Structure 1
């Protein structure tokens, strides 16, 4: 699914369910941002405010198996009922990690998130639940804010030059930004008077924990831990897996 469903349709459903506009937008943004949260930010290293996030999406299938395993079955392809008709491959083979619509694991992960009343965590779980069907604009008299995948990031991180480089690489991925920077970093240092690197800092080191971005990232880590327990009990314990 794309942002038309994960953001706009999720907002509509949340609003129709009784969430106010602000909360519906937070929930819907969280639901979509899973797919855009594919970069590890090293923020304020060497300080008391040092933070590194977990990614919740990746298109790099060469990543270590452990990292792939904690992303795909939890946030995108929640394992379903292995004997369900729609889980069978064309060759008739089955796999415990195949996802199926409205499955037990996805429901338990969603129930667990709903019990916390954490909008970010609910958004994460709603995305995963919707994806069990995927793999569909506005509501009432209020206009839905246009989705901007950099909105939460821009509000919390300083270093506008570095963020601009990051965005450029995301929009034109064929440009080898890190290579270019290695070539010109001495000139950047001479011009800006600072050593250029891909380390970031907070706009407000005293209030960043109240930001949408930080709360979303905190929810990613919490939901991952909770979902791993659910999957272990329902699915993974039935499989013979190498140590991940």
Structure 2
């Protein structure tokens, strides 16, 4: 991501933007889908802006992000957009979460890759998403490409009491491994094939059956011997 730009548009010459970042001034000219970037010394900014205005460029109200879309024949492609580049994923977005200062996104990507390789997520779709995760600076976006991806990220977000942002209301408040049916119902809006999300839960080891056995194990541990915690509480009280 290359920052937020004040953008000036021209009816025939495309758009030109300027981003002031600390002691750096970055400019970007976008025309015909191609991007030309440059650096300016701070004291040269005002004259350059004046020159653009005299040439017919008009400043628009809303600031925009510079979305870079790779290279073609050695030329950089891109566009100005109001959408944050890390959320402009080119496909339907289920939800996104924020990246905190202490998050190691490379380690997260490695961890998620190991888990998701055990599912039937298409390798090319998985690698494309993991690449975005490794590059994430502010947001991790979850596309509607496979329910296993959504479930794995949701588990991390909910377990860590992080912010999960979605246009879809009714997000479950517990992790998928504990309430798989709730997540299956919530994700049904995005994944409509028969048992699509249920199969992903099974592949992850988070099916309803898995949840039942996990809950039974927890209940058994909590009960313990001699009446479990109730007996302990009674012995302390009396």
TM-score bracket relative to the smaller structure? under 0.3
In our comparison, the structure showing a higher alpha carbon Rg is 2
The TM-score with structure 1 as length reference comes to 0.25
The TM-score with structure 2 as length reference comes to 0.25
Q: Relative contact order, CA 8 A, sep 6+: which one is greater?
A: 1
Could you say which structure has the higher helix fraction? 1
Could you say which structure has the higher strand fraction? 2
